[in-house]
Amino acid sequence: MKLANLGALALSACLAGGCLAGCAPEPRIAVPDTGPAEEQPLAAAAQEPAEEADAGEAAPAAAEPESEPVHEHIWLPNYELQVIPAQTETIHHDAVTEEAVELHTVCNVCLAIVDGVADQHAAETGHVGATPDVEVPVTRTVTEASDEVREISPETTQLVSTSDTCTTCGETRQTDKKTVDPETVSQAVQDDAGSPLGAL
């Protein structure tokens, strides 16, 4: 029993003194105390690219106030049908006459023609006597005077425009007078309808 106790004591002494090979404790290396780990610079370095990326992005522009949309006017003329009266002129025709000799009863005093009224003429004027079948030069009217209305140009119609209207916004503007012959427009429409493109 005493031997066992001695052996145990010897073993304890060897362990304490490091006598046993391979059992000696490893020497400890002193590490200077530098304080807490320097993680802050690493974190800052990780954040710098993100900040630079944010700085590279342009800041959103402030919203501009909405304004009315601007468009290019598409003007179309406003045409109205106008009737142009016929153009006429008045031509006067003078009377056509001829000189002739006729037989008449003539008052012997005043030489008035008193065919069939010689007695009445004598009673009214007191002229006495009349001579029958006296040759009297007279002017005969062959054609009466007249006025002739002659047409210079017939009545026509035309399309007249003095203003334009925008087909987009409805704005109206005054323009110089423009005229179009309706027959010309009608003929153009017929030509377009008869053409291969117009038939499509």
Alpha-carbon dihedral of residues 107, 108, 112, 118, nearest 10 degrees?
-10
| Whether the Cβ atoms of residue 134 and residue 142 lie closer than 8 Å to each other | no
Decide: pTM greater than 0.85: no
DSSP letter for 116, please.
Answer: T
What's the rounded Cα separation, in Å, for the pair 9 and 14?
9
Q: According to the model, what pLDDT value does residue 51 have?
A: 53
Of 188, 182, 185, the residue nearest 159 (C-alpha): 182
Q: According to the model, what pLDDT value does residue 45 have?
A: 47
What is the spatial order of strands in the sheet that 172-180 belongs to? 75-84, 156-166, 172-180
Which whole-number Å values give the CA distances from 167 to 55, 173, 174, 180, in the listed order? 49, 12, 15, 20
Q: According to the model, what pLDDT value does residue 24 have?
A: 47
The DSSP line for 47-83 is: HHHHHHHHHHSPPPPPPPPP-PPP----EEEEEEEEE
Q: Is the dihedral of CA 25, 27, 32, 37 positive or negative?
A: negative
Q: According to the model, what pLDDT value does residue 22 have?
A: 45
Of 129, 126, 140, 138, the residue nearest 105 (C-alpha): 129
Task: Please give the single-letter amino acid code of residue 125.
Answer: T
Angle at 67 between CA 64 and CA 73, to 5 degrees: 140
Q: According to the model, what pLDDT value does residue 75 have?
A: 92
pLDDT per residue as tens, the chain (200 positions): 444 454 555 555 445 554 444 444 555 555 455 555 454 544 444 455 545 545 555 555 555 656 666 789 999 999 999 999 999 999 999 999 999 999 999 999 999 999 999 999 999 999 999 999 999 998 999 999 999 999 999 999 999 999 999 998 999 999 999 988 887 777 767 776 665 544 44
Domain boundaries, the chain: 75-86+150-195, 95-144
